[in-house]
Amino acid sequence: MKIWELDQPQVSDIVEFETDDETVVEGLIVGETADGYIYEFSESGYAELNKGLAEAEYHGREVPLGRPMQGDVKKFKVYVKNKKGKVVKVNYGDPNMRIKKSNPARRKSFRARHNCNTPGPRDKARYWSCRKW
């Protein structure tokens, strides 16, 4: 049943979302907040809903946005959109060093040295480096 066809949707109702002309994804209402409802989707349904949101084009190829991965120039890389809406690649990390975040003293030192309590914008290496730590 489509959510807009329900008079009063309630927790445990199954609703349908149309992603395009042909695709319909079913979701389960698992909670309610002041802003709306909280839905739960299957893994394939979640992927279908976020298909267009998580990818963008960078130098003529599709890349995932906001997902750190093994780097080519540095240890890690991630593709994000900057404030202007342009997709940029952020490289960070020393490829010759290990991250030893399990050592509390090193973790505290790194986070203080890089001012990780205010990591800055997502299109800067400091943000992603602090997030790893």
pLDDT in tens, 76-131: 999 999 888 899 999 999 989 887 888 999 989 998 999 988 888 989 999 999 88
User: In the β-sheet with 76-81, what is the strand arrangement from edge to edge?
Assistant: 69-70, 76-81, 87-92
More confident residue, 116 or 32: 116
- Angle (CA) 101-105-110 rounded to 5° is 60
What distance in Å separates the CA atoms of residue 74 and residue 66, rounded to the nearest whole number?
A: 17
Which two structure tokens, joined as six digits, stand for 113? 């040295």
Write down the pTM of the prediction.
0.59
Instruction: Return the C-alpha torsion angle 24, 26, 29, 34, nearest 10.
Output: -20
